[in-house]
Structures are given as C-alpha cells and as structure tokens.
Amino acid sequence: MRTGVWLVGARGSVATTSIVGALALRAGLTGPTGCVTELSELRGPAWPSFADLVFGGHDVAATPLAKRAEALADAGVVPARLVAALGEELAAVDDDVRPAPVGGTQADRAAAVVADLAAFRGRHGLDRVVVVNVSATEPAARPHPAHADPDALAAALAAGEEVLPPSSLYAYAAFTAGCPYVDFTPSTGARLPALAALAARHAVPYAGHDGKTGETLLKSVLAPMFAMRHLAVRSWSGTNLLGGGDGATLAQPDANAAKVASKQRVLGEILGYVPQGDTRIDYVEELGDFKTAWDLITFAGFLGTGMRLEFTWHGCDSALAAPLVLDLARITAAAHAAGRHGPLTDLAFFFKDPLGPAGSGPDAGATADRAPGHALGEQWARLAAFAADLHAGAGTPPAGGAA
C-alpha cells in the first residue's frame, strides 16, 4: 500500500526527524525503537511498510531538509552518520516539500493545497495520502459562525472571508482532497463542527490532538496509580523547560495558553477532581530539543498522612515524537483503507487531548460511542483492539476473491 505522508511543517524538528527515521528504517540503517506499530501486540498486515511511505509536505521555511537534519545531528537529536548516509534520499524528499501557499484568499490557499496533494498522489502513484500537522502551535481559534456547518464555511470562503486558522485550513484542504488528517499539535485543526461534517461527507478519518511524549505521558501513567490506590492527590505542579522552534513558539503567550490547556485536562479527567497546582512551560534556548520536566506531587494516604513524589524527565522531544508520527501515519492509512471514517477515538493512546466521538453518529468510528479517557493502560487496550480489528480485516480476502 503506497502511502503518502504529507507533513504540514515539513522542515520542522519533528518532521525532519520523522523523515530521517523512516528513510533510515527503509535502508536498514536503524531499528524501530519507539514505533509502537512494530510491537508484537500491534504488528500486522494492515500497516503499510516503512518502505511504502513516501514523504512530502508544506512549510513556510525554505531551509533544505539535509541542512535541517545536519542541525539536528549537531544538536544530538539524530545520529550524524545517518544524515551523511541519507543525503540523496533527503534531497529527493525536498523536491516534494512545497512552499506553504501565501497570498490570495483562504479559498485560493485551500485550493493550492488540494492541488499540491493531488499532484503528489499522482506523481508517486500513491494509494492514499495522510496529511499530518506538525507545524508550529497556533493560538486558539477565534469563534466564527461559519465554523458551525460545511455549507456556511464554503459560503464564507467563497466570499473571500478569512475564517479558519492555518491548521484548520489544512484540515479543510485534506478532507476536500479525500485525505485523512492527523493533528500532532494542540492547534484547532479538524476540531470544528463544519470540518467534522466535511470529513463525514468525504468519508475520511482523522485523529488528534497534540502528541503525548513527555510530562503528560507520565501523568497518564501515574495519575491512574494514585486513583487505583485511593490516594488523594493534593497538588500537582509541573515546570517544563525547552528550547528549539517549539520552545520559541510556546514562549508566545497565546500559543503557550493553548498548550497548557491541552496538558491540564489529563489530571482532572483521570482523578475525578482537580488538585492544586499549575503546569508551566518556559523557553530556554540553550536546551534545544531536549526538554526537562520537573513535577512535584503531594498526596495524602490513610489517616491523612502527607507524602510526596517528585520526578525529573529529560526527554529529546523530536526523538520521542517522530516514531509516533510514523505510527499514526501507518495506522490512519490502514483505517482509511478499511473504510473507517470520522474521529479515530481509538488512537487516544498517542495524544494529550484526544478527540472524542463526533456529535453525529454515522461519521463516528467503530468504537467511537465510548469516551476515550486519558489513562495510558486503557488507551493501550483500545489501541490494541483497534489494531487487531484492522489486521483481521486486512487478512480477509475480498468477497468473491481467491482464498
């Protein structure tokens, strides 16, 4: 199954690490550490192979991918020997990275994205193209009446209005082009009723939001432990220090607020109450792509005895995110091939702020009637069941076909 992976923000750290990783896997130069689709519980015939993935994308930046990869190697994010070995392959991917459309109306820019997706699919003879948003985090979208339904949205765009944030314009273009869409960022993306209805109309699946790779991943493991042991969490405070392009974006108050809101939902929903404390994100340029999270949790046990847990997480953000981007592209492609559409709520395992079921029943996925929850163990069980279902379908010969 030749599968296009169209990365919005294709020259960013997460995108570049994903591309280097996939090319290295294809060349047999590295192993799939961090890719959950290669675990025995999830592996199977429904996934496109790494060799089947073809990369392209949009970016507002023009730095060649090889240069971005060298910078990541200098920073210790990817091995320099891989970047040196993959120079030709990276240059070939560069040919499929298009400048993000600028100028004209939003309708013009959406049409340009649709045309780029169609040309990419045709050029490489792809069975499908999954659009993955790994672009810079945006501030929360300003509400607009055209967000409520696809016909109002189409009318607003036709009238030359600017009604969508960039992540939603890419989702709009993806759905219009018949492509599934994955949002790895906290931006609005497909989370507008008009876009949910548009995805249903085009029978495409979508997934999101905001990859779960660090502090929130730990929260989704530790908070269920406190809940299951009936321990009372009194406060949970976290400070995240990071540099890189993402850190610079998150230094801006509006983008920071969107990210913090996405990180905060986990505790309240797992514990059933919100303990005291906040999550902070601070930009420290020197740290580059390496993030430090310090969390202090105070909790009470039997007879009210006070106790505390502290942890420090030193993660390489792009090295944690990139294998998940590859996993999401493979799973979403398989879901599309199996005729799934609407929000892929069974992919909650990957996200800080997972999509819930769509309001309208018919566009929801097979198990979308249940809320996804935030506890990692439950999310894992749902993902494994979803994968098993897709693999069983992929192993079934088409009706009337040879056994």
Residues lying near ligand NAD in the complex (CB under 6 A): 8-9, 11-14, 58-61, 100, 134-137, 166, 184-185, 210-211, 213, 244-246, 249, 317-318, 320-321
**Cβ proximity of 114 and 173 under 8 Å:** yes
Pairwise CA distance, residues 395 & 357, whole Å: 27
Pairwise CA distance, residues 382 & 296, whole Å: 30
**Cβ proximity of 129 and 98 under 8 Å:** no
**Smaller CB separation from ligand NAD, 199 or 320:** 320
**Cβ proximity of 51 and 26 under 8 Å:** yes
**Cβ proximity of 1 and 329 under 8 Å:** no
**Smaller CB separation from ligand NAD, 37 or 318:** 318
Burial 195-218 (b: 16+ CB within 10 A, else e): bbbbbbebebbbbbbbbbbbbbbb
- Closest approach of ligand NAD to the CB of residue 100, in Å: 4
Tokens linked to 14 = 């997460």
Tokens linked to 385 = 């069941």
- Closest approach of ligand NAD to the CB of residue 87, in Å: 20
**Smaller CB separation from ligand NAD, 1 or 15:** 15
**Smaller CB separation from ligand NAD, 9 or 277:** 9
- Closest approach of ligand NAD to the CB of residue 342, in Å: 23
**Smaller CB separation from ligand NAD, 134 or 271:** 134
Q: Report the DSSP beta bridge partners of residue 311.
A: 295
What backbone torsions phi and psi does residue 304 show, to the nearest 5 degrees?
A: 80, 10
**Smaller CB separation from ligand NAD, 6 or 226:** 6
- Closest approach of ligand NAD to the CB of residue 222, in Å: 18
- Closest approach of ligand NAD to the CB of residue 75, in Å: 11
Cα–Cα distance list, 302 to 221, 273, 346 (Å): 22, 19, 36
**Smaller CB separation from ligand NAD, 213 or 298:** 213
Number of neighbouring beta carbons within 10 Å of residue 385: 13
- Closest approach of ligand NAD to the CB of residue 351, in Å: 9
- Closest approach of ligand NAD to the CB of residue 249, in Å: 6
